[in-house]
Structure 1
Amino acid sequence: MNREDLSIRSCGAKSPAIGVLAIGEPHQLLHVLGPAAELSRAGLDVCILVTTDWHEAIIARFAPDAGLRIKRLIGWRRGGAIGDKIRRKWTLYANLLTLRRFDILLTPEMTSSILRERRLFGGMMVHVMHGAGDREVEGNERARHFDLVLVAGEKTRAQLIALDHVRPETCVVAGYPKFDLIDGRRMHFFDDTLPVVLYNPHFRDDLSSWPAMGAALVRAFAEGAEFNLIVAPHIRLSGAMRAEVAALAAGPLPANIRVDPGSLHSITMDYTNAADIYLGDVSSQVYEFLRRPRPCVFLDPNQTDWQDNAFYRHWAFGRVATSVGQAMDLLRSAVTDHADHRAAQVAGFDQSICAAGAASARIARAVLAAHARRHGLPAPVGA
């Protein structure tokens, strides 16, 4: 995309100053960095408003030549863990003067909706929903406060509209901009050719398989020599679960097990690209894994009545285990069984993530078109 494609100066208007809020955990930035880079390369003034050195590391790795400005917000910190919580509301209030300098705020998180709800920001607010999982609409009633909401696929758009969280005209299917930044190249984390299993437990203890099954699963992999195992929970893991994973990572581990309590590998699809089989519960990362259809096994220690529950529709993408022993058996047959689930994986992915074209460019065009409409101007060229 070039400057002419996104031109709004031809409308006689001053180009909008765009602020990109990086006040959430670092993984969220990967969902808006691509659109920010597109807008910047097209000649617009785009500033990433960062709160940690993790955000800066992501920009340096994935958009080093995009011409993005970077501003450290009040409260910026260095050296914490990647999953450490950020005081989002405090950060917003402490930086109001800075935020009000922008015509458009582009953000992957929902806390900033208070700026509109409490009439603290008069510019245009755009939300790019991060993730494409089956629980993405949970708690997202705040989406109604944004002028424009970009979602990955028709599944999420239909759910948000049905729940009256958005109006149809303000919610656009844009695809998955994180895919524009990250290709499918496979990294190798082990020295052999054993199948690699990625275990990706959810961060919420009421939904996660880790408390009931995590430690026993690791022992089962350690006792066998059939698989390599990567344990990579969501970086928002907290409390006792976070402490247990950190302790496991710090201790001696056999050569076929890698435990990552939180790193850039956990959020940049290095593990989902490296794995042959996905093992998890309700994490939305299964959809990133299914960018390339592969075998999945799901863990249900609570014996959930899930078949007619939309929050668990991804469990149709593989077999479901209710015990560690059953999980190991299903992993052994996962490659053979994959033919039974591949069609469901492809259909589910297509409903969740629009793969047509570049999502980042689509979002950039949608943002500028919405800004033009807001000000009664003709749509920009190419929007």
Structure 2
Amino acid sequence: MTNLNNLAFAFIGGEHQVLHLAPVAAELSLRHPDIKICCICADDRTAAALRAVATAMKARAMIVTRIAWPWGARIAACVTGKRSAAKGPLLARIRWLARNAQAIIVPERTSAALRWLGWRRPLVHFRHGAGDRAPSSEARLQAFDAIFVPGQKDIERAVARGIDRRRLSAVGYVKMDYLRALPAGPQLFDNHRPTILYNPHFDPALSSIGIARDVIARFREQRRYNLIFAPHVRAFENLDEAARAEWLELAVAGQIVVDLDSPRLFDMSYTRSADLYLGDMSSQLYEFIARPRPVAFVNAHDVSWQDNPRYAGWHLGEVASGAEDVLAAVDRAFERHPEMVQTQAEAVAFAFGGFNGAIRRASHQLLDTLQSL
């Protein structure tokens, strides 16, 4: 593919995936005006996030196309009660819209289904996040001609899953490269208490979300710490308004923030401002310790985690045995953090590689790779 002139970037997973790939699209549009760069999405918030990246990077030629959900997608989501059920019909529409593109580039694995929808040109995956969960969807990587990951950790994991090493490129953590120069967000609490960011994952089999109310209750009963409850945005994507309201009522003015879906869940406002990270399985752990700080984890399923690679991050801080042990684990994490600094720095390097310059590096490597396919 020597004459690239039309590339499609598809964002079907939601706003939280935008910063893992959109800066690369914007960089290509800015540096290669001869290539049509079109970013396709299906909701207003994702479209707004894409346009914000284009504006910030002065990529005026980058096209953002917001498409309507196909009627089949709306029916599937309504019948199942799950937004994810709509992705098949949505991908079929994207497949048609991108029919003149020379490649489709995506930040999630569900788009592997484009192969079964007849897409035969290059299909490229950019990994979003850099956690340890190793979901079953890793098997879908076989559908992609090229796979871009942040660091060596994902290279080794993909190779262990049988992915040809020649398909893999480690380019650094694009999101971190994009956000690193931005100023910190506004101060959330008008006090001098340390602030805890509680970030449970969406997978109920691994997450502490099932006991999150109890965890929050422990913080409501004390006055030593502030708390930001900011779960993965997918944790509550299928909740109705009444259920959402019940969670929001757990906030306490001046002490506890509850955020279920604001842009601050994605732009590292919380990970950059908090003093300690409390979580379970989210890759936001590594975003947090890009600047080493205390971390703690909630073992909500009585997991034997010490020798399980899916819980590698838990060795970087303290582990609570349940909600009743959370405050004690937080105390221990603050006390013992100095001995964790070097280990955390090494873990970030393994997960993210060198994230400075990741956007430029990824855009160059993407062009080189597509031209060789």
Q: Is the CA contact (8 Å cut-off) linking 1:242 and 1:261 kept in structure 2?
A: no
Q: What displacement does 1:244 show? A: 5.3
Aligned to 1:334: 333
Could you say what secondary structure the match of 1:192 adopts? coil
How far apart, CA to CA, are the structure 2 residues paired with 1:173 and 1:363?
8
Q: Is the CA contact (8 Å cut-off) linking 1:20 and 1:48 kept in structure 2?
A: yes
Q: What displacement does 1:195 show? A: 0.6
Aligned to 1:93: 92
1:75 aligns with 2:69: yes
**Quick one: structure 1 residues 177 and 123, their matched pair in 2 at CA, closer, same or farther if it must change by over 3 Å?**
same
Written as runs of structure 1 = structure 2, the 5 A alignment for 1:114-193 is 114-116=113-115, 118=116, 120-136=118-134, 138-164=136-162, 166-183=163-180, 185-187=183-185, 188-193=187-192
Could you say what secondary structure the match of 2:153 adopts? helix
Quick one: percent identity of the two aligned structures?
30
Q: What displacement does 1:194 show? A: 1.1
How far apart, CA to CA, are the structure 1 residues paired with 2:178 and 2:223?
35
**Quick one: structure 1 residues 150 and 246, their matched pair in 2 at CA, closer, same or farther if it must change by over 3 Å?**
farther
**CA offsets 1:152-201 (integer angstroms, 9 cap, x no match):** 1111111111110x211110111111112212643211111211100001
How far apart, CA to CA, are the structure 2 residues paired with 1:333 and 1:177?
33
Q: What displacement does 1:138 show? A: 3.5
Runs of at least 4 residues of structure 1 off by over 3 A? 83-86, 238-246
Q: Is the CA contact (8 Å cut-off) linking 1:103 and 1:123 kept in structure 2?
A: yes
**Quick one: structure 1 residues 241 and 330, their matched pair in 2 at CA, closer, same or farther if it must change by over 3 Å?**
farther
**CA offsets 1:32-83 (integer angstroms, 9 cap, x no match):** 1111011000122101111111112212333212121111224189xxxxx9
Relative to the length of structure 1, the TM-score reads 0.87
Q: Is the CA contact (8 Å cut-off) linking 1:300 and 1:320 kept in structure 2?
A: yes
How many residue pairs end up in the alignment? 356
Aligned to 1:348: 347
Q: Is the CA contact (8 Å cut-off) linking 1:62 and 1:181 kept in structure 2?
A: no
Q: Is the CA contact (8 Å cut-off) linking 2:95 and 2:117 kept in structure 1?
A: no
Written as runs of structure 1 = structure 2, the 5 A alignment for 1:1-150 is 13-42=2-31, 43=33, 44-64=35-55, 65-67=58-60, 68-75=62-69, 85=84, 87-116=86-115, 118=116, 120-136=118-134, 138-150=136-148
Aligned to 2:75: none
Alignment-mate amino acid for residue 114 of structure 1: A
Could you say what secondary structure the match of 2:66 adopts? strand
Q: What displacement does 1:350 show? A: 1.1
**Quick one: structure 1 residues 234 and 252, their matched pair in 2 at CA, closer, same or farther if it must change by over 3 Å?**
closer
Q: What displacement does 1:25 show? A: 1.8
Q: Is the CA contact (8 Å cut-off) linking 1:20 and 1:49 kept in structure 2?
A: yes
Indicate the RMSD between aligned Cα atoms, in angstroms.
2.3
1:233 aligns with 2:258: no
Aligned to 2:278: 279
Could you say what secondary structure the match of 2:319 adopts? strand
Q: Is the CA contact (8 Å cut-off) linking 1:137 and 1:160 kept in structure 2?
A: no
Structure 2: gaps (5+ residues): 72-81
How far apart, CA to CA, are the structure 1 residues paired with 2:141 and 2:230?
29
**Quick one: structure 1 residues 298 and 154, their matched pair in 2 at CA, closer, same or farther if it must change by over 3 Å?**
same
**Quick one: structure 1 residues 191 and 368, their matched pair in 2 at CA, closer, same or farther if it must change by over 3 Å?**
same
Written as runs of structure 1 = structure 2, the 5 A alignment for 1:293-304 is 293-304=292-303
Between 1:127-136 and 1:321-330, the stretch displaced more is 321-330
Between 1:269-278 and 1:121-130, the stretch displaced more is 121-130
Alignment-mate amino acid for residue 279 of structure 1: L
Q: Is the CA contact (8 Å cut-off) linking 2:248 and 2:258 kept in structure 1?
A: yes
Q: Is the CA contact (8 Å cut-off) linking 2:130 and 2:283 kept in structure 1?
A: yes
**CA offsets 1:70-119 (integer angstroms, 9 cap, x no match):** 11224189xxxxx9547221111123321111011110011221222x26
How far apart, CA to CA, are the structure 2 residues paired with 1:76 and 1:274?
40
1:256 aligns with 2:255: yes
Q: Is the CA contact (8 Å cut-off) linking 1:156 and 1:352 kept in structure 2?
A: yes
Relative to the length of structure 2, the TM-score reads 0.89
Alignment-mate amino acid for residue 168 of structure 1: R
**Quick one: structure 1 residues 297 and 287, their matched pair in 2 at CA, closer, same or farther if it must change by over 3 Å?**
same
Q: Is the CA contact (8 Å cut-off) linking 2:95 and 2:114 kept in structure 1?
A: no
Structure holding more helix per residue = 2
Q: Is the CA contact (8 Å cut-off) linking 1:74 and 1:94 kept in structure 2?
A: no
**Quick one: structure 1 residues 190 and 61, their matched pair in 2 at CA, closer, same or farther if it must change by over 3 Å?**
farther
Aligned to 2:289: 290
Q: What displacement does 1:209 show? A: 1.0
1:316 aligns with 2:315: yes
Q: Is the CA contact (8 Å cut-off) linking 2:174 and 2:355 kept in structure 1?
A: no
Structure 1: gaps (5+ residues): 1-7, 78-82, 375-383
Aligned to 2:220: 222
Q: Is the CA contact (8 Å cut-off) linking 2:5 and 2:36 kept in structure 1?
A: yes
